Structure 1
Amino acid sequence: MIPLSTLLINSLKTKCTNCFQFQRYATRKRFYRNTGIIQNEQNWEVTLDHRRLKTPNGKVLLVNSEPLARAIAAEWDSQKEYIALPVMHLTALCNTALDNPGKLTSHDITSYLLDYLPTDTLLFHSDEEEELRVLQEQKWGPILEWFQERFNVKQEVSRGLTPPPVSTETRAVLARHFLSYSFPAINAIYFGTEALKSPILMLACVERRLDPKDAVLLARLEEEYQLIRWGRVPWAHELNQAELTARVAASLLVVQCTAERHSSAKKTPPGEFAPQ
């Protein structure tokens, strides 16, 4: 069983909820007092005042992991006066995987990720600012080296606006890797990739080479470089960073929790044998 990372849970505890409330993104008030989970054969459900939580299409929200069900229940329990759906990333990911509004398949998402790779943030190094290019090589270089060693591929970088080539062999290797995940997991990888603008950074997170906070900082490297030079609005940039970190953390939580099935078993009292 893969233990839930305290880092992931802490990353999900963003204060963005309050910001969304003030901006009136929430569409309904909290209508329940308590949250909980129940086991349904090998799956788990989330309850709101003992009523089963359902997806927008009316399906019962089922997950195959007790820790993931508890995390979703905690997400609903953390809502205050209003339900801020835009920042409830775990619920959104599970709803999307179950309802599949785009009628996508794992092959569809894999094709999208492979097409995204040539535009990966880490593959574009500055050709105008020497200081920025050196920083990119220092910060991004180790991750690119890890990526190539991990998947036994070679990947060029670009010094301009032209996307670097991605070989057929690289695409084939990554296609096999992505297709090894379940649909909820690859859907979560897609969500994290969108947040980071980088399949490579998302893979590094999934493989536990990076944590969400560090991945977001690497994804925002050029922006942070410019902010250091020209100044920043602290609360705005910190809020954006916290939101991106929460998105990536939610994605990783879904990937990790769907990697294995978790079920509860009744404990056998000392001196007794479990039934066969």
Structure 2
Amino acid sequence: MRDQLEEAHRHRDDGYGRAQHLNRVELPKRFYSAVDVVRVESGYAVTLDGRQVRTPGKKIPVVVPALAIARSIAQEWAAQGEFVDPAAMPMVRLINSAVESGEQTMPAFRAEIGKFAANDLLLYRADSPRELIAEQERQWDAALVGLARHFDIAFRPTVGIIHQAQPPETLARLDAALEGQGLLALTALVSITGLTGSGLLAVALLHGLLTSDAVWAAAHVDEDHQIRLWGEDAEATERRAKRKVEFDTAVSVLEALRQP
């Protein structure tokens, strides 16, 4: 399973990593005029001058099950100017990542979310200062209570960074909470998990226990505390804004897949 996940991460370079690389080299010129969304047998596809979009690595045709996702992809292609900038195409990169990874990586994606949940951000609390403790309790306890009630599970939070094992039944039920999720949903959830540092927040978002705004705020309790103490750092603020774009893109995928 670890090999599958590493393979998936290599495929992510065809989307996410490639965007970073192209920022350092000459961007390709725009090679198309018309962008359209078309219905195909297995879903929706985007065409550039009538040719169906394919992934950059394996050249796999990109077909998505939700019209809203296809429209977002089309909007990103249409918004390109003289040059094509992958860094400005978060939906394209996320969907390419999913398609390049393939359905064989789905068990590894579920395991990755579960690994985060077993050692989750929300479960390891500060012992000081008082203001940070209070904010962690306010935001993180609400998430844990919601999950505990919804799935009839228990957590073992701890103070500090020493590992605290969670009940096996809790982890099993959290894994079961991901059953039935397809490749696109799991790819979005892995992205959300990595961006927030929390598998629990990703599961809570998936099941409607927290809003996306609440998830993002909970993921940045510690960071926001540091900002209140020392002020904002321009580079850190820019990085956070870029991560928020990726987060919002992944959330929009989950929302689109919920639509009938």
Cα distance in 2 for partners of 1:151, 1:61 equals 35
Cα distance in 1 for partners of 2:151, 2:114 equals 14
User: What is the number of equivalent residue pairs in this alignment?
Assistant: 240
Q: Which runs of 5+ in 1 are unaligned?
A: 1-19, 262-276
Summarize the Cα distance change of 1:159–1:240 in structure 2 as closer, same or farther, 3 Å threshold.
same
1:156 aligns with 156
Cα offset, 1:87, TM superposition: 4.4
Cα distance in 2 for partners of 1:21, 1:166 equals 39
Cα offset, 1:76, TM superposition: 1.7
Structure 1 counterpart SS, 2:192? helix
For residue 66 of structure 1, what is the amino acid of its counterpart? L
Cα offset, 1:236, TM superposition: 3.3
Larger radius of gyration: 1
TM-score normalised over the length of structure 2:
0.82
For residue 245 of structure 1, what is the amino acid of its counterpart? K
1:246 aligns with 245
Report Cα offsets for 1:86-112 as digits up to 9, x if no partner: 3422212222222217x8432222122
Report Cα offsets for 1:59-93 as digits up to 9, x if no partner: 11111111110011112222333322234222122
- Residue range with higher mean Cα deviation, 206-215 or 160-169: 206-215
Retained in 2: the 8 A contact 1:47–1:53? yes
Summarize the Cα distance change of 1:165–1:222 in structure 2 as closer, same or farther, 3 Å threshold.
same
Cα offset, 1:39, TM superposition: 0.6
More helix by share: 2
Cα distance in 2 for partners of 1:251, 1:87 equals 15
1:65 counterpart = 2:66 = yes
1:34-183 matched pairs, under 5 angstroms: 34-56=34-56, 57-100=58-101, 104-183=104-183
Cα distance in 2 for partners of 1:239, 1:207 equals 30
Q: Which runs of 5+ in 2 are unaligned?
A: 1-19
The structure whose RCO (Cα within 8 Å, separation 6+) is larger is 1
Structure 1 counterpart SS, 2:127? coil
2:216 aligns with 216
Q: Percent identity?
A: 24
For residue 244 of structure 1, what is the amino acid of its counterpart? R
Structure 2 counterpart SS, 1:122? helix
For residue 254 of structure 2, what is the amino acid of its counterpart? V
Cα offset, 1:46, TM superposition: 0.5
- Residue range with higher mean Cα deviation, 136-145 or 206-215: 206-215
For residue 67 of structure 2, what is the amino acid of its counterpart? E
Retained in 2: the 8 A contact 1:118–1:165? yes
Cα distance in 2 for partners of 1:41, 1:104 equals 22
Cα distance in 2 for partners of 1:91, 1:22 equals 15
For residue 200 of structure 2, what is the amino acid of its counterpart? I
2:203 aligns with 203
Report Cα offsets for 1:204-258 as digits up to 9, x if no partner: 222334333432222111111011111213x434433322222222212222333
2:230 aligns with 230
Report Cα offsets for 1:28-66 as digits up to 9, x if no partner: 232223321011124111012222111121111111111
